[in-house]
Amino acid sequence: MIKERIVLFVGAYLLWCLLNWPPDRQHFLAGPLVAAFAAYFLAGLTVNRPGVLKHSKRYVYFAVYVLLFAREMVRSGVEVAYRVLHPQMPLKAGIVKIPITLKSNMGITFLAHSITLATPALTIDIDADAGVLTVHGFDVEGKGWEPRVRRFERILSEVFD
């Protein structure tokens, strides 16, 4: 775990230096604090099996995920805007539990954020041990957003599991 944090610290500090180019004294001094903060809190989310990064198909699936995420984000924005502009449209909001098959923490984190950002739903709770996400959705009876969740999960399982 310490090796992982050191590598993450160095990477975060280099990224900090690149983002704050040209360097000055304030950024040079604040950078190690930001990098240490990132290394301490994000070390548990990094890849536990570095050998999996050698598989090129994961990068292809991640590119597919990014395209799907962008499409679903636009679609979700249009759907939410339509509901705002048509308040007489019935809204059957509620909370549901969605079983998931993802095992890696990073995959589950990506899925939860994808649900929140790219579907008209909000991830409320993650129970990784039980394999369940608790989600608040606009239309829980219609379940129009649930197939989107499954598509994200299927692609993210190819990337992270």
The model's pLDDT over 89-130, given as tens digits with 9 standing for 90+, comes to: 877 888 888 899 998 888 898 999 998 888 888 899 999 889
Report residue 27's pLDDT band, with 50, 70 and 90 as the boundaries. Answer: confident
Q: Are residues 57 and 89 in the same domain?
A: yes
Which residues partner with 96 through β-bridges?
135
Q: Are residues 105 and 32 in the same domain?
A: no
Distance CA 131, CA 112 (A): 12
Q: Are residues 61 and 39 in the same domain?
A: no
Global pTM exceeds 0.75: no
* Residue 145 near residue 119, CB atoms below 8 Å: yes
The number of C-alpha atoms within 13 Å of 118 and in the hemisphere containing its C-beta is: 23
Q: Are residues 77 and 11 in the same domain?
A: no
Q: Are residues 104 and 138 in the same domain?
A: yes
Q: In this predicted model, what pLDDT tens digit does every residue of 62-86 receive, in sequence order?
A: 999 999 999 999 988 898 888 889 8
* Domain carrying residue 116: 50-160
* Residue 136 near residue 95, CB atoms below 8 Å: yes
Q: Are residues 140 and 71 in the same domain?
A: yes
Alpha-carbon distance values, 143 to 12, 30, 38, 62, 150 (Å) = 40, 47, 37, 25, 12
Q: In this predicted model, what pLDDT tens digit does every residue of 44-53 receive, in sequence order?
A: 666 565 555 5
Distance CA 66, CA 19 (A): 23
Q: Are residues 85 and 111 in the same domain?
A: yes
What residue spans of 43-98 are helical by DSSP H?
Answer: 56-85
Domains: count for the chain: 2
